Amino acid sequence: DTAVSQTPKYLVTQMGNDKSIKCEQNLGHDTMYWYKQDSKKFLKIMFSYNNKELIINETVPNRFSPKSPDKAHLNLHINSLELGDSAVYFCASSSAATNYGYTFGSGTRLTVV
């Protein structure tokens, strides 16, 4: 069983569209994250979320919003997509038991045309 799964793996869409990326973890972790990886491979935190607290990186545009229907899911919704949103987006999860070391999903490559 995949520990952290993201869908879709690839997403090609036009500017101005709204899209969502889904993430599910079956590890029983209490904290989930979204990271953006640019073309230079730099990993930048976007959100950290557990059932008590959402921490938002202040540099993330408010067109991006995390949605968590339950502890095992953290979806990423993006409004009014722009060319600069093209990147690979990674979901990750962690818990106190792992000293908050992350388990990552396999990524979603988003291409905005």
Partner 1 sequence: GESVGLHLPTLSVQEGDNSIINCAYSNSASDYFIWYKQESGKGPQFIIDIRSNMDKRQGQRVTVLLNKTVKHLSLQIAATQPGDSAVYFCAEKNAGNMLTFGGGTRLMVKP
Nearer Cβ to partner 1, position 14 or 41?
41
Please tell me the distance from the alpha carbon of residue 60 to that of residue 47, in angstroms, as a whole number: 9
By CB under 8 A, which span of 17-25, 43-51, 60-68, 71-79 interacts with partner 1? 43-51
By CB under 8 A, which span of 13-21, 39-47, 59-67, 69-77 interacts with partner 1? 39-47
Largest Cα span, the chain: 42
Q: Give the SS3 label for residue 35.
A: strand
Q: Rounded to 5 degrees, what are φ and ψ at 25? A: -125, 140
Q: Select from 25, 75, 93, 94 the one that contacts partner 1 (CB under 8 A).
A: 94
Q: Give the SS3 label for residue 39.
A: coil
55-74: contacts with partner 1 (CB under 8 A): 55
